[in-house]
């Protein structure tokens, strides 16, 4: 029977695994010191510049309140230097989790709406991505997403920006923001055009709404991966479809708890998803806002579900396999994962 790791052995094994993160938002990745620095620089945005007050600010009442806070933090990000700081800060945090690759969600429409120039946004992404690789050994790719609450206009302009600028590292096209009252189907023309141009479809769905939103993301938007997708657990036919068609879910357990979508990690449907053969990847979503780390997501799920070392490694492999990394890089990273050995007593001497 495969060994169930606990305590220091579990922590050592999880950290040793090379990992990929597929669902993390650039603005939501801003560390608390970074947010404090930006808040002090731009007090008019209304984000607390005191550490204790900021911690209270990040105590979310519900998903709508989380979005309000998220947009307030977005308004602090004004130029290429801010973007560069966010990107390199995220890369440093990923490197600390032994993450080698991440697909990072960027919402150009919100930044441009807040007055940032397109040149600044693109320059910050480019310089930050180069520094992430050179200084931290982390490869970053981009997902440009539509803020769904801003409607069809945001969809059209996000598509135009993505296809016109096409920065190095742009691999996918997404849809974020609230799901309630924001139907997926209205964005079908933009996802069709994005897919025809070679971008991959990765919309959010089933985070705050039921399985119907996930079905719509699949049929209307051609989703190749689903952001969150946890409500699929309530639809046996959808679970079967996801497993049969190998459509992965980008699951963010701590995020779901902090925004009130589930009561606890213990109550999270991740076990049901895995038991039905659904491809599950673990992700942080907006890590400092939720007090999350990538290693922490693995530890929480492994500890709660009593996963064996092979099961934990399978989660790490799934993230690499369903990523949009180049095939040669996938092969190399999977080889590294497969070569990780269990920690022995000498590791804790």
pLDDT in tens, 148-192: 999 999 999 999 999 999 999 999 999 999 999 999 999 999 999
Evaluate whether 207 touches 225 at the Cβ level (below 8 Å).
no
- List pLDDT tens digits, range 316-335: 999 999 999 999 999 999 99
CA angle 171, 77, 127 (to 5 degrees): 50
Q: Is 207 a catalytic residue?
A: yes
- List pLDDT tens digits, range 256-292: 999 999 999 999 999 999 999 999 999 999 999 899 9
* Gyration radius of the chain's alpha carbons: 19
Helix 211-221 and helix 188-196, axial crossing angle in degrees, nearest 10 = 50
Domain extent listing, the chain: 7-340
Distance separating alpha carbons of residues 33 and 37, to the nearest angstrom: 6
173, β-bridge pairs: 144, 201
- Of the CA atoms within 13 Å of residue 253, those in its CB half-sphere come to 25
> DSSP state, 29?
G
Residue 88 CB contacts under 8 Å (≥ 6 apart), including other chains: 128, 131, 132, 135, 136
Residue with token string 């397109």:
118
Task: Map residue 198 onto helix, strand or coil.
Answer: coil
pLDDT of residue 34: 87
Question: 7-340 in CATH: which number?
Answer: 3.20.20.140
Output the pTM of the full model. Answer: 0.94
Tens place of pLDDT per residue across the chain (349 aa): 567 888 899 999 999 999 999 999 999 999 888 899 889 988 888 899 999 999 899 888 888 898 888 888 888 999 999 999 999 999 999 999 999 999 999 999 999 998 999 999 999 999 999 999 999 999 999 999 999 999 999 999 999 999 999 999 999 999 999 999 999 999 999 999 999 999 999 999 999 999 999 999 999 999 999 999 999 999 999 999 999 999 999 999 999 999 999 999 999 999 999 999 999 999 999 999 899 999 999 999 999 999 999 999 999 999 999 999 999 999 999 999 999 987 665 555 4
Annotated catalytic residue, options 21, 103, 179, 207: 207
């Amino acid at each position: 029977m495969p060994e169930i790791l606990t305590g220091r052995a579990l922590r050592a094994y999880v950290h040793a695994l090379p990992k990929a993160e597929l669902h993390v938002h650039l603005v939501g990745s801003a560390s608390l010191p970074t947010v404090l620095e930006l808040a002090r620089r731009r007090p008019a945005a209304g984000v607390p510049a005191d550490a204790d007050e900021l911690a209270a600010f990040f105590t979310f009442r519900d998903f709508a309140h989380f979005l309000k806070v998220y947009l307030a933090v977005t308004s602090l990000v004004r130029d290429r230097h801010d973007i560069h700081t966010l990107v390199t800060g995220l890369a440093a945090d990923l490197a600390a989790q032994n993450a080698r690759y991440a697909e990072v969600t960027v919402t150009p429409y919100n930044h441009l709406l807040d007055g940032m120039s397109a040149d600044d946004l693109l320059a910050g992404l480019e310089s930050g991505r180069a520094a992430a690789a050179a200084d931290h050994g982390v490869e970053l790719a981009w997902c440009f997403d539509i803020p769904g609450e801003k409607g069809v206009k945001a969809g059209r302009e996000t598509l135009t920006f993505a296809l016109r600028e096409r920065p190095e590292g742009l691999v996918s096209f997404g849809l974020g923001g609230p799901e309630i009252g924001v139907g997926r189907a209205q964005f079908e023309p933009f996802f069709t055009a994005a897919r025809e141009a070679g971008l991959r479809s990765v919309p959010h769905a089933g985070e705050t709404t039921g399985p119907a939103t996930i079905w719509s993301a699949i049929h209307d938007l051609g989703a190749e991966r689903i952001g969150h997708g946890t409500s699929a657990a309530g639809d046996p036919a959808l679970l079967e479809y996801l497993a049969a068609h190998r459509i992965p879910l980008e699951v963010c357990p701590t995020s779901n708890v902090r925004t009130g979508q589930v009561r606890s990690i213990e109550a999270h449907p991740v076990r049901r998803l895995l038991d039905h053969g659904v491809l599950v990847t673990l992700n942080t979503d907006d890590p400092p806002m939720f007090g999350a780390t990538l290693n922490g997501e693995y530890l929480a799920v492994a500890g709660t579900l009593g996963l064996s070392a092979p099961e934990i490694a399978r989660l790490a492999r799934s993230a690499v396999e369903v990523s949009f990394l180049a095939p040669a890089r996938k092969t190399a990273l999977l080889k590294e994962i497969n070569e990780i050995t269990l920690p022995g007593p000498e590791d804790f001497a």
